[in-house]
Amino acid sequence: GAGVSQSPRYKVTKRGQDVALRCDPISGHVSLYWYRQALGQGPEFLTYFNYEAQQDKSGLPNDRFSAERPEGSISTLTIQRTEQRDSAMYRCASSRVLAGTGELFFGEGSRLTVL
């Protein structure tokens, strides 16, 4: 696609439900990042992939959070048993080169609200 596409753009869920956020990177981009951003703050690193390999997941807050990118393209960030503190904007970014060497292209984000 022309840009990084994230879906859904808005998700409202009840506490305790699982949610899956999808990221479709720019075609051919090899690295993919997930960030979380609270209002008025900078993006907080969660995890990243080079191709299908998850290289670093040190930013995932706890084991309720997981991410995958099975075919090296689309990625899914899953949050199990959501809590109100999980409410935030979740942003995905991709890069045409291996992580660490080039610019990131960000999607518009998925805004998660946990009631």
Partner 1 sequence: SQQGEEDPQALSIQEGENATMNCSYKTSINNLQWYRQNSGRGLVHLILIRSNEREKHSGRLRVTLDTSKKSSSLLITASRAADTASYFCPPLGGYNKLIFGAGTRLAVHP
Other Cβ atoms closer than 10 A to 104: 19
CA-CA distances (angstroms) from residue 82 to 41, 49, 58?
21, 23, 19
- Is residue 101 close enough to count as binding partner 1 by CB under 8 A? yes
- Report yes or no: 29 and 92 within 8 Å, Cβ to Cβ: no
Q: Binders of partner 1 among 7-46, rule CB under 8 A?
A: 33, 35, 39, 41-45
CA-CA distances (angstroms) from residue 21 to 32, 97, 100, 101, 103?
14, 23, 24, 26, 23
Cβ distance to partner 1 smaller for residue 37 or 76: 37
- Is residue 68 close enough to count as binding partner 1 by CB under 8 A? no
State in angstroms the smallest separation of the CB of 93 from partner 1: 8
Residues 39-58, one symbol each (x = binds partner 1 by CB under 8 A, - = not), give x-xxxxx--x------xx--
Can you give the binding site for partner 1, defined by CB under 8 A? 33, 35, 39, 41-45, 48, 55-56, 89, 91, 93, 98-109
